[in-house]
Structure 1
Amino acid sequence: MINGLTGLALLCLSLPYLWFQCGLLGAALPVTVLLCVAYRRVWTALIWLIFGAVLVCRLEAEAQHLLPASWQHKQAELSLCLAQPPQVFDQYQRFSATVLAQPADLQLRHVRLTANANLDIQAGDCLRAQVRLRQPVGQLIPGNFNATRYFFSERIDAQGSVVELIDQTLNASLVVRWYQRAAPQFDDSRVRDIWAALALGWSASMDANLADLFEQNQIKHLMVVSGMHIGMVAAWALLLARLFHRLPGPWRGHWPVLRWVTVVSLCGAFVAITGFGFPAVRAWLMVLLPLGVMLSGGRLGGLQSMALAAVAIAAMRPQAWLSTGAWLSFGLVWVMIRLYQRWRSEGLPGWQMALRMQLLLSVFSLPMSALMGFQWHPLSLLINLLVIPLVTLIILPWSLLILVWPPLVHWGYQWLVSWGLDGLVWIARWHQPPPVLTFAEIALFAALFWLVLSHWLNREQRWLLVPLAGLLLLWPVRSTPPDEFRLTTLDVGHGLALVLEWPDQTWLYDTAGQWSDGTSIAQARLAPWFRRRHLAVDGIVISHSDNDHAGGAAWAIQRWPDARRISGEPDAVAELSGQGGWQSCHDSPPADLPFRLIATPKALRTSDNDRSCLLLVETKAGRLLITGDASRNLEYWLMQQYPQWFPLSLVVLGHHGSRTSSASGFLDASPEALLLVSAGDRARPRWPNPDLLDYLQQRQRNLLNTAWHGTIEVDVDASNNQWQVRDWRSSFRRRFLSH
């Protein structure tokens, strides 16, 4: 039977996610289930019902602060202040800020902005600036990190870019003054960033390369102030309380009160210094509440303490449970409690408990890395065994002491941290890409892990379950193929990546672009999607050599070396990919393909865009046309050369819907066609162009845009031979962030 506190905790953990994904009806599901469980317990059921209603109202109120759709890409004058320094890249800098003043019809609290790298912006600066605003929406690829959910969980109400800096003043808080006093003592900027992350909670402003280094070694969690750091401060506080309790004075004989006051005050001071970041506040509550209950004479077990903390966290910020980090932290604490209860009853020595704990947590981190898209290191167990004690026992307290006396930097701190970083750089060469598991595989892993940790089986029987992990190898190795044809337009921002699937083969049309540091978007974002679906690509078409279409060509060839290769600019793409064997789609295109390549006249191939491969697919739902970045000249040529193909039933608009393509006459030739475009929600709204959007509004035609819908999947419905459209937007995104 579920007791009242456990029921409240289950409600807090499940309701926000169901509300986010499924809306108000989804939020009603856990309340209904609990009411059924609370049979004949009227007061318990009433408490659960009231608390559930309060949570829903709180979530609805939080969503009212989001940037309205009417303000998308519009400019507003904002007054805002920075608590942390910006994270600086080559051409721009990124920072989060608290909004102090804004237009009357906005209710923004926190915004994430970008600005030119040449602007001198520091922690503690208060800015008055003209900002071009965007809704807090991120790219949406099924199974990948959900940026929209993260933004809402962190109360980031808008994104934007600084267009003009009007005024800038310094309003340095005590924490900023501490930073300004200690920063000149550091000779190595990497060491300074680590100190600021541990002592001040400034992990978001850490150098991007340094953050990547920690992720590659699977120790990035050590740089974000959370439960482990609060726990270590609490341990030091208990030690100080014990020493103080031995001194003569009125506190002698009041050990419970002294312990509670010391731990809560020192941990609270640390949370305040780090800016009341919610991971730290969450951990502080998990320390504060059980001690408070014990002080008042009550008794709580480990799991009851966690349930109480879950309720308190939801009461403070209900959307906090939308963060994957919150679940990871909570799950790890639950695992630690279960292990401690088990091994304490077995009388294991402390060093064995610590070693076993780290071993199982390292194993537990593998499915978590797969779920969150983190990189993985085969030596993570050894790395964590060495680095966790070093950071928690030495570097963290040393970092806090530097706040009091900055010259301590030169007493070995800088040498120790630099030496550790050099070792991490050397060992990071063996890091691996994120492990890719389906949700079913992760659920199976979690079930086995639960059985291993449970008290249902004795010691000998538990480890007989380990061979059951081999069931993962028997899971289906390929996603379900379509009945006839499926087109998936992946959300890659400003770029193009189309997956064309038939029952017997799969082709990839374009491979998205690259970020400013040269990293392939396909390798970072699309590779997990392909591995999760176990899709093998039989052929690759690179429309032309522009970066936003061919940025992942090298990755694609490395991933599928035996795939056929076709391009509108074979020589240029061969140079980009470092691999030859590319066949032109214009010179005698092969006939043994599941689609038709349309060879364009040489006289019309006057630019990179007009050398794009044109691709036609015949289906029972009609003809589908993909034109890459082809201009209007080629669109009119198609209508003149192949009038029998029109009207089309589906068109992937050329050049992301720019002014150079999507001529009104070309679109009028297929008045009932489904229109689809791959465009990024960029700082400047150039794609799709306003004239195209006005045309579509006048004709009352809908546009499927990846910037609005995320990844879009279009299937041929065998029952009626019509296109069946699917996207993965949550109810939250449809209700509050729709265009």
Structure 2
Amino acid sequence: MRIYFLAFCAGVIALRFIPALPAPHWLLLLLLCALLLLRKLGWLAVFLLAFCWASWQATLLLNNRLVDEWDGQTVWLEGQVAGLPQWSQSATGQPVVRFELLDAQSRRTELPSRIRVSWYNPPLIKAGERWRLAVTLKQPHGLLNPHTFDYQQWLTSRAIGATGSVKTGERVRAGRGLAAWREALRDRLLLALPDTPARAGVIALVLGDGSGLSRAQWQVLQSSGTVHLFVISGQHISLVAGLAYALIAWLQRLALWPMRVPWLPVACGLALLSALLYGALAGFAVPVQRALIMVAVVLFWRLRYQQLASWTPWMLALSLILFYDPLVVLQPGLWLSFAAVAVLLLVFAWRLGRWPWWQVLTRAQWAAALGLMPFLLALGLPVSALGVIANIVAVPFVSVWALPLSLLGAGLLFWPAAAQFVLWLAAQSLTLMWHVLELGVSWQAAWNAPYLPWWVLLLAALAVFLLLLPSALRPAWLVLGLFIPLLWPPLTHEVRPNRAQIWLLDVGQGQAIVVRTATHTLLYDAGPKMGGMDAGEQIVWPFLRGERIKQLDKLVLSHADADHAGGAEAVLQRLPVLQRISGEPERHQHWQAQPCSEQSWQWDGVRFWQWQWSQATEGNEASCVLLVQAQDERFLVTGDLGVNGERALLDAQPDLQVDWLVAGHHGSRTSTSAEFLQHLQPSAVLISRGRYNGYGHPHAVVMQRLQQAQVKIYDTASDKAMRIDLGAHQKIWRMAQQRAFWRDGVQE
């Protein structure tokens, strides 16, 4: 039986790694093959059936996305607010709310069943309400760079078929149902809780709503390895079910349970009911659904008097979850939750005799931290060296004290005085825990690993598996040998002398370029910081970390506009920068930036030249220009330099010709003139811009100029991040070449 469970899980998980979904006729052929193999090779037939099921479900989801002709169009629609709206503030201090719409309908077109929207300066939005909204719809897509978050994958895993921004709207119907009840409970909790940062933690424990936690709080949780304590997950659901089960078992052990009533079915039934009620508090989110299925399987196994240490309930729960929602394989939570349970099963399966409680706690946390490390590295998540100690303290504190107090306070809301006292006590307890975690994080930060090849991760996973076995079964020399590639991983993109590796990152409506030689690194612009997005923190720094860049030799900010220099602060806080250059140094005095004076230098056989128009009168025209030459191949970026500045540049360098040119000002009509193109004669032009920018970049006039010049055009909106190996005279590498079914859809 187990081999069929494993075959089914493998078939669904295979969906995660295919570049494009099979066409319907190929699925039909695979289905026929599976039916023919059922009698002789049952496990292979189950694998094929599972793969066909997962592929078909994914195909239905992709076909439910917004169609091309309505991409970027504003449509009046009507839908119901799903879940709890998430309130925050934009970079300019404006209130903004983000929420999902279910069953959206429009008279003009058929819409996806689930849409995620944002609304700036909105009226009061409540869960469960039905609204009529004017929404500018967008197909689900996101920025795509190496070592960074894949937003489009996240949208696909949540079955979101479109995103949008709300222009205006009106409420059609008041909230109703479970969602409205949860919203009302959150409002009552906020009124009863003291106005401290810790109250967001209480809301997260009771309702699974972490939107109130600040970015600093999330960073503390990540650095200490305790994020799982503040999202309602399997641990919380299992704890509530376990308390209900223990209550009946305790009564039976004390001979207080009536003999005529079998205690075990009642204990299992009460435990499942408690878990379901707690899941309702959390709105039955996807992680909660996973946890409920796992708890139900375990309780069923216990009801049959079967051994809970068996791997069968683990595989059965995983199979049920993958059957219910195959696209859950795209969510990191699936891998982490089931990996954690598997590690504990592995460790406690070797237990001899009865361990004291403190030994159970310490071994469980040590094993979980060690066992999850390869998965965290593979998913690009931070690994906390403090995690074992932090969880030994925080897990029992939250499980035995903070969580029961929070739930008790919520249950006492009908008695305001008692509820306020209990919730105050819960908030004060969490405040104390925050201070302890902050002290620990300040002493030992989490490790953000660079990019690691798959074979290094595989060896690390094997080493961890050996460490989890009893000491008599693991040779120490083998474990240490398997860990060596993890401690000293090989370089993936080594740059040779006389060559330069140039990355144009996909930062939306902005610009960020990384130039690497054999021993030096230069960052030209750092991306935007606007609309709640900091490209320096979310894109540039993760990219530099993933490429193992520990120091910037030079940071060049073309000028001070937020779309070019906004992300610089986040980079400067995380990396040492030896030299800082700015086209507008007077606006970057706090960074001790030097002016962009004309100069040239050489790194590892690669020549650099920077220049600024001396007669510039405003920020764009003051852009610092950078020319990079490796052997006889040249790359030029001009920032937001306009036509007059381009003419001055040609006067300063009459013989200037380039192979690669970054379009000035994101393709604005005020840059990249026909004269400039004719003089430079580039082979290719790169455009860095946001797909849905409100400026109309790139302008139709500029695109016509480029087509007339017969140059190749690359655009971050479609090609995503790009890499040029300057000096090698090779084709450009585009991040869009990394195919995945949630981006590439169904094979034709």
Letter of the 2:249 partner, please give it: R
State the 1:462 CA deviation: 5.7
Q: Secondary structure at the match of 2:529?
A: coil
Q: Which amino acid aligns with 1:508?
A: L
TM-score of the aligned structures, taking structure 1 as reference length: 0.86
**Paired position in structure 2 for 1:87:** 87
Structure 1 residues not aligned, in runs of 5+: none
Q: Output the aligned Cα RMSD.
A: 3.7
* Deviation (angstroms), 1:277: 0.5
Which residue, 395, 405, 409 being the options, matches 2:402?
395
Deviation at 1:171, TM superposition (A): 1.0
Shift of 1:526: 2.5
Map 1:628-643; keep pairs closer than 5 Å: 628-638=639-649, 642=653
* Offset, 1:181: 4.2
Residues 1:479 and 1:599: Cα distance change in structure 2 (over 3 Å)? closer
109-118 or 666-675, which deviates more: 666-675
Q: In the superposition, relative to structure 1, how do residues 388 and 433 fare at CA in structure 2: closer, same or farther (>3 Å)? A: closer
- SS of the residue aligned with 2:116? strand
The equivalent of 2:564 in structure 1 is: 549
Change (3 A) 1:689 1:187: farther
One-letter code aligned to 1:521:
A
Q: Establish whether residue 274 from structure 1 lines up as the match of residue 282 from structure 2.
A: yes
How far apart are 1:393 and its partner, in Å?
A: 1.9
1:97 aligns with 2:100: yes
Question: Partner letter of residue 562 of structure 2?
Answer: N
Is 1:320 aligned to 2:310, yes or no? Answer: no
Shift of 1:23: 4.5
State the partner residue of 2:544: 530
Give 1:257 deviation, angstroms: 3.1
Structure 1 position 153, deviation (Å): 0.9
> Is 1:86–1:122's contact at 8 Å kept on the other side of the alignment?
no
Could you tell me which residue of structure 2 aligns to residue 162 of structure 1? 166
- Distance in 2 between residues matched to 1:186 and 1:428, nearest whole Å: 22
1:237 counterpart SS class: helix
Aligned to 1:123: 127
| Alpha-carbon spacing, 1:40–1:439, altered in 2? closer, same or farther (3 Å) | farther
User: How far did residue 194 of structure 1 move?
Assistant: 2.7
Q: Distance in 2 between matches of 1:523 and 1:731?
A: 25
Task: Give the one of 440, 449, 454 matched to 2:464.
Answer: 449
- Out of 496, 501, 504, the position equivalent to 1:489 is 504
Counterpart in the other structure of 1:214: 221
Tell me if the contact between 2:99 and 2:116 (Cα under 8 Å) persists in the aligned partners. Answer: yes
Say which of 428, 451, 460 aligns to 1:438.
451
Letter in 1 for 2:139: Q
Report the residue type matching 2:116 in the other structure: R
Give the match's secondary structure for 1:203: coil
CA change 1:725–1:59 in 2 (3 A) is same
Q: What's 1:252 paired with?
A: 261
For 2:348, what is the secondary structure of its paired residue?
Answer: helix
Measure, in 2, the Cα distance between the counterparts of 1:78 and 1:423: 45
Corresponding residue number in structure 2 for 1:510: 525
In structure 2, the partner of 1:584 is: 596
Q: Distance in 2 between matches of 1:702 and 1:736?
A: 26
TM-score, normalised with respect to structure 2: 0.85
Match in the other structure for 2:490: 476
Superposed displacement of residue 427, structure 1: 4.3
1:134–1:683 CA contact under 8 A, matched in 2 = no
Please state if 1:730 is matched with 2:739. yes
Shift in alpha-carbon separation, 1:399–1:109, aligned structure 2, 3 A: farther
Q: Residue 60 of structure 1 corresponds to which residue in structure 2? A: 59
User: C-alpha distance in 2, partners of 1:618/1:425?
Assistant: 52
Query: Could you say which residue in structure 2 is the equivalent of 1:6?
Result: 6
Contact (CA 8 Å) 1:69, 1:737: kept in 2 or not?
no
Counterparts of 1:727 and 1:224 in 2: how far apart (Å)?
A: 32
The correspondence for 1:614, drawn from 611, 625, 642, is 625
1:112 matched to 2:116? The reply is yes
1:546-591 deviation line (CA, Å, top 9, x unaligned): 2332335456567665744444334443x142x35x35333xx235
Question: In the alignment, is the contact (CA less than 8 A) between 2:101 and 2:115 conserved in 1?
Answer: yes
Q: Is the 8 A contact 1:629 1:656 kept in 2?
A: yes
C-alpha deviation, 1:531, in angstroms: 2.9
Counterpart amino acid of residue 70 in structure 2 = W
Would you say the 8 A contact 2:495–2:517 is kept in 1? yes
Tell me how far apart the structure 1 counterparts of residues 301 and 664 of structure 2 sit (CA, whole Å).
64
Counterpart pick for 1:348 among 340, 351, 355 = 355
Q: Distance in 1 between matches of 2:350 and 2:15?
A: 32
Pick from 413, 428, 441 the counterpart of residue 418 of structure 1.
428
- Checking the alignment, whether the CA contact within 8 Å between 1:452 and 1:463 is kept in structure 2 is no
**1:138/1:693 CA distance change after superposition, 3 Å:** same
TM-aligned CA distance change 1:669 to 1:134, over 3 Å: farther
Q: Is the 8 A contact 2:627 2:634 kept in 1?
A: yes
Aligned counterpart, 1:70: 69
Between stretches 605-614 and 88-97, larger displacement belongs to 88-97
**Partners in 1 of 2:433 and 2:614 — Cα distance?**
56
1:187 corresponds to: 194
Contact (CA 8 Å) 2:328, 2:334: kept in 1 or not?
yes
- CA drift of 1:450 comes to 0.9
Residues paired across the two proteins, number? 717
Within-5 A mapping of 1:712-731: 712-716=722-726, 718=728, 721-728=729-736, 729-731=738-740
One-letter identity of the residue aligned with 2:323: A
Instruction: Determine the C-alpha separation between the residues in 2 that align with 1:540 and 1:474.
Output: 28
**Which residue in 1 is equivalent to 2:659?**
649
SS in 2 for 1:493: coil
CA distance in 2, matches of 1:73, 1:250: 68
8 Å Cα contact 1:497/1:509 also seen in 2: yes
Where 2:342 maps in the other structure, the secondary structure is helix
Once the two structures are TM-superposed, the CA of residue 4 in structure 1 deviates from its matched residue by: 1.5
CA contact (8 A) 2:199 2:427 kept: no
What's the secondary structure of 2:83's corresponding residue?
A: coil
| Aligned-pair CA distance for 1:306 | 1.9
- How far is 1:177 from its partner? 3.5
Q: Does 113-122 or 352-361 show the bigger shift?
A: 113-122
1:185 offset after TM fit, Å?
1.9
CA deviation map 1:587-630 (0-9, x unaligned): xx235463453645423x12111111222334567532211111
Q: 1:329 aligns with which of 326, 334, 337?
A: 337
2:193–2:424 CA contact under 8 A, matched in 1 = yes
Gaps of 5+ in 2: none
- Tell me the CA shift for residue 209 of structure 1: 4.7
The aligned counterpart of 2:688 is: 678
Contact 1:82 1:122 in 2 (8 A): no
CA distance in 1, matches of 2:647, 2:610: 14
The separation in 2 between residues aligned to 1:485 and 1:291, in whole angstroms, is: 60
Report the AA paired with residue 102 of structure 1: Q
> Hey, what does 2:209 align to over in structure 1?
202
